[in-house]
Amino acid sequence: MGEPVNVGVVGCGAISAQYFRTIERLPQVRLVAVADLDLDRAREAVRPYPGTDVLSVAELMADPRVDVVLNLTVPAAHAEVALQAIAAGKDVYCEKPLAANVADAARVLQAAGEAGVRVGCAPDTVLGTGTQTARKAIDDGLIGRPVAATATMMTPGHERWHPNPDFYYAPGGGPLLDMGPYYVTCLVTLLGPVATVVGAAGRTRAKRTIGSGPRQGEEIPVSVDTHVTGVLVHASGALSTLVMSFDGVATRSPNIEVHGEKGSLVVPDPNHFDGAVLASVLGEEGWRELPAAAGYVEAGRGVGLADLASTGLHAARGAEPRAGGSLAFHVLDVMESLLDAARSGTAVTIASTCERPPPVALRSLAGGLDGLP
């Protein structure tokens, strides 16, 4: 393996600590600098990582050491920050969703294509043993031809625990754009791209109350739908039924189930890297747990960034990363189309498509990444 790829992080909020911990474990990437609109927050975030420079966003973009910009800002800023990185000639890896809307995401991919740099995007949880083991079971034919899936995410809302939850209720947020990327990316990984969607959506209240931190008790406005349901018609013909909600208290439904002609699978939480995959196969009694058979073992947020780094810097030299821009674009297109379908009450054809990313063989992170062909 050559020199590690140098990472500059823009946005040092709640999620950044998880990335810093993973980057520390991965030999392919090295944290060199961070930036945030709030420089004190950036300084605090990298206190455990002495030697990391704290810069303004403009300084970080201009820093010749930075190969890849890791964009951990709020969804409304994803496109703007990504475009700055691309204009500076750097690869960019974004938190999800790729942008707050499809039009902005298209501008990001077009600019990256023209600049010859690559775009990666969360979620990378689907590269862990949970989704990858389920995918291998499907690809190996354990459940026969997949015909349907269900995906359910039900919580009372992130304002209960996040100290600055405004973005969850602003455009680019809501249960679908916030949590949907995990579920839709998992469904596309398992069942392939989506061709058509139908949907319905609602919202229970115009305001939410912050439940923790210095702003506890403050009310914030809700400008997005907070309960979204729909059916994704995959190009393969499989039908996925989706329920994404910030309006329910709890659920006992599995996060994801996939049903095939010969068997059914319970797929673990796609917001986590691992978890038990259960199978019930025609002719066998009950459910059995499948041993982890594919994916990165004990992975953490940032493994998708290392995957991008390990496949070579810049478009001319590297393949599309697994947690790649075209997959993230398709997932965002599916989600935005689902909201359009809910508004119009008609089926919406998905204009984009993508390849299923190459599978990940079972391996520990310590053993290195699973290089793409």
Ligand X SMILES: NC(=O)c1ccc[n+]([C@@H]2O[C@H](COP(=O)([O-])OP(=O)(O)OC[C@H]3O[C@@H](n4cnc5c(N)ncnc54)[C@H](O)[C@@H]3O)[C@@H](O)[C@H]2O)c1
> In the complex, which residues of this chain contact ligand X (CB under 6 A)?
10-15, 35-38, 41, 57, 72-75, 77, 80-81, 95-96, 164, 178
Instruction: Tell me how far, at minimum, the Cβ of 346 lies from ligand X, in Å.
Output: 29
Q: Which of 248, 373, 307 is nearest to 26 (CA)?
A: 307
Instruction: Tell me how far, at minimum, the Cβ of 173 lies from ligand X, in Å.
Output: 8
Give me the residue whose beta carbon is nearest to ligand X. Answer: 13
The answer to whether 199 touches 339, Cβ cutoff 8 Å, is: yes
Tokens, residue 164: 């600055």
Instruction: Tell me how far, at minimum, the Cβ of 110 lies from ligand X, in Å.
Output: 20
Q: How far apart are CA 75 and CA 78, in angstroms?
A: 5
Q: Which residue has the tokens 């499809």?
A: 102
Nearer to ligand X, 125 or 189 (CB): 125
Q: How many helices (H) and strands (E) does the chain have?
A: 9, 19
Torsions phi, psi for 137 (to 5 deg) = -60, -40
Instruction: Tell me how far, at minimum, the Cβ of 38 lies from ligand X, in Å.
Output: 5
The answer to whether 138 touches 238, Cβ cutoff 8 Å, is: no
Q: How far apart are CA 106 and CA 200, in angstroms?
A: 25
Helix (H) or strand (E) holding 196: strand 194-202
Q: Which of 258, 279, 277, 259 is nearest to 268 (CA)?
A: 277
Handedness of CA 16, 18, 20, 23 (dihedral sign): negative
Nearer to ligand X, 36 or 336 (CB): 36
Identity of residue 53? D
Q: Which residue has the tokens 């609109």?
A: 37
Alpha carbon dihedral 282, 285, 286, 290, in 10-degree steps, equals -70
Instruction: Tell me how far, at minimum, the Cβ of 146 lies from ligand X, in Å.
Output: 27
Quick one: DSSP state of residue 205?
-
Other beta carbons within 10 Å of 308? 31
Nearer to ligand X, 72 or 256 (CB): 72
Nearer to ligand X, 56 or 251 (CB): 56
Instruction: Tell me how far, at minimum, the Cβ of 356 lies from ligand X, in Å.
Output: 23
Q: How far apart are CA 214 and CA 163, in angstroms?
A: 7
Instruction: Tell me how far, at minimum, the Cβ of 81 lies from ligand X, in Å.
Output: 5
Tokens, residue 294: 């594919």
Residues contacting 47, CB < 8 A, separation 6+ = none
Q: Which of 345, 372, 348, 338 is nearest to 358 (CA)?
A: 372
Strand partners, 150: 241, 257
Other beta carbons within 10 Å of 12? 26
Instruction: Tell me how far, at minimum, the Cβ of 13 lies from ligand X, in Å.
Output: 2
Nearer to ligand X, 141 or 171 (CB): 171
Instruction: Tell me how far, at minimum, the Cβ of 37 lies from ligand X, in Å.
Output: 4
Instruction: Tell me how far, at minimum, the Cβ of 287 lies from ligand X, in Å.
Output: 30
